[in-house]
Amino acid sequence: MSGYSFYQKASRAYQSHPYLYKLLVVCTVSGGGFLGFSNSRPFHQTAYSDAHHGDIKKKKVVVLGTGWAGTSFLKNLKDPAYDVQVVSPRNYFAFTPLLPSVTNGTVEARSIVEPIRNIVRKKKFNFQFKEAECYRIDPQNKRVYCRSIQDNNLVGSEEFTVEYDYLVIAMGARSNTFNTPGVVEHAHFLKEIEDAQRIRRTVIDCFERASLPTISEEERKRILHFVVVGGGPTGVEFAAELHDFVIDDLAKLYPTLKDYVKITLLEAADHILNMFDKRITVFAEEKFRRDGIDLKTGSMVTKVNDKEISTKERTTGQNVSIPYGMVVWSTGIGTRPVIMDFMKQIGQEDIAAIFSKADKNNTGRLKVEDFKEVINDICERYPQVEIYLKKKQLKNFVDLLKNSQGDDELDIDKFKAALSEVDLQTKNLPATAQVAAQQGAYLADCFNRMEICEKYPEGPLRFRGTGRHRFHPFRYKHLGQFAPLGGEQAASQLPGDWVSIGHSSQWLWYSVYARLLISSFALHIDQDTLAETLRNRTPKEANPVGLPYLGAGNSDKLLETLTSHNHIQNLTTNIDSFSV
């Protein structure tokens, strides 16, 4: 192999030894960081026999949704003892963290989608897919009501029902408009592939319309004013991508319009990226101001019409009208109505059931000592209680009760008040792809071990009914997060207070997300952007993993090597172990 280049040798070794894909190591020279990603499974591995389930009627499992949780569940489900039916409005999995890059063409839409049938084609369980949406769940009769989303002239009803033994709800969330008037009618969202493509078309349409000779100066400024509502990761990344799109591409195509373009980011809180380390927040705000992005914090949107956004300044109470050409709404997510209806039907383990379990003498009053026998089960059943206790530096739940009420004997009302304090101060898990994928993998592991856990439950005490739950509750493991900031710069925050900002983090972001794509054919790189990046970077910046610098004259050759299909055919994903 002496005649091969470094990349050819690495690629041949990569293809000859499939186990190499289990470890991705990125060494960032300029950042001085080291990070390893493993494809190891965090859950139990179990061997299954097809013959073992041959004469047993298979359980019907219905999966609602093909997002991160649903796809992770399907990918990690191994037990062939199930008949699996998937119901979803889309017949593919979408790599949503890269949606902002689709809006400006850095990443093609086809690059981040994978047909769901392709993902499960080698699975041993029976599989059916129905492209439809679920509009009602009947848990009492174990039935879901669905309707087709296809526009056709077929005779007959497009509504149908599907019965199940087990139901996996992975429908995701909807964009939260907070009932702000005009948002649904006039704003763009960024949750689906179609949203990203629609935004890109709208941006181009704005430039084309602004270039017409009949447009006045004032109207031209309005048309080329792009407003992003929401200073979270999605809003910040889209604003950064839009800025790069305008500066790097559209300014060359529409040189006379460059000075009219304005990008505004509205955030109701005092700072953007509140969920990140303060160092990242400060860097992002300073960079946006240097780039000319108008950052307005403390601005709450009260109304959106076809040409203006009405805002209210949180500190002064002043009402402001902002003319715009396009607005993108990314203020968070909300629960879908079908899920809210389902939750009302099934109810939850309430405080009274916990109280009754501890009140063995049925006196209606509890001494703090009575909780010592069930406190471990409470913390195991509800991990958020244990997290709260650690945060408050309280040794156990007994301390919480004493500190809340100052009494050694409690009735049901005092007990409710104590647990309400925990509930109010407990945060939900972040609604990210990372959390959803881990939940899907966890649930698949439960199904893989269903038979043995039916006989030998391993979970905590049941507060309703008798016995124990079959499985331990889900516990989230945070693996870090990225925030692309434009200009080939990004911020990364990993466990252990590890923060990196700059070009090295951008290359780390590229490496991780390329590693996470579902299959090889879905990996398409914007060659012009990558080639330009390689030509303009210094040796260390262009080769963050410490590879030999090829020089500007050989960047096209390097690009051809990096994007060759033969050199990436083994890239698969492990969507239960990653960071977003």
pLDDT tens column, 537-560 = 443 333 333 333 333 333 333 333
The answer to the question of residue 453 being in a domain is no
Model confidence pLDDT, tens digit, residues 475-531? 999 889 999 999 889 999 988 888 999 888 888 887 777 666 644 334 444 444 444
Tell me if 234 is assigned to some domain: yes
Could you tell me the residue range of the domain that residue 212 belongs to? 183-332
Q: Which CATH number goes with the domain that contains 404?
A: 1.10.238
| Residue matched to tokens 């969330």 | 173
The CATH number given to whatever domain includes residue 70 is: 3.50.50.60
Strands 33-38 and 23-28: antiparallel
Check pLDDT > 50 for residue 359.
Answer: yes
pLDDT attached to residue 361: 77
Per the CB < 8 A criterion, the answer to whether 558 and 4 are in contact is no
Instruction: Supply the pLDDT for residue 572.
Output: 28
Domain assignment present for residue 21? The answer is: yes
Percent of the residues in the chain that have a pLDDT greater than 70, as a whole number: 70
What is the residue type of 323?
P
Distances (CA, A) of 126 to 27, 120, 121, 555: 42, 10, 10, 47
Determine the pLDDT at residue 413.
Answer: 77
* pLDDT digit string, tens, across residues 395-432: 555 565 665 555 567 777 777 777 776 666 666 788 89
Residues 322 and 231 in one domain: yes
- How many CB atoms are closer than 10 A to CB 388? 20
The last residue of one of the domains, among 173, 205, 237, is: 173
Structural domain includes residue 466: no
Residues 57 and 32 in one domain: no
Pair (90, 12) in one structural domain: no
> Do 295 and 208 share a structural domain?
yes
Return the pLDDT at 425. 66
In a domain, 471, yes or no: no
Whether 458 is in a domain gets the answer no
Q: Across the strands, what pairs with 326?
A: 226
Band of pLDDT at residue 33, cut at 50, 70 and 90: very low
Tens digits of residue pLDDT in 62-113: 999 999 999 999 999 999 999 999 999 999 999 999 999 999 988 889 889 9
The Cα–Cα gap between 37 and 56 comes to 40
Say if residue 60 is in the same domain as residue 169: yes
Residue 325 sits in a domain whose CATH number is 3.50.50.100
Same domain, 29 and 61: no
- Model confidence at 579: pLDDT above 60: no
Same-domain pairing of 38 and 59: no
Is residue 167 within a helix (H) or strand (E), and if so which, with residue range? Answer: strand 166-169
375: nearest Cα among 349, 400, 396, 392 = 396
Q: What is the DSSP letter of 461?
A: B
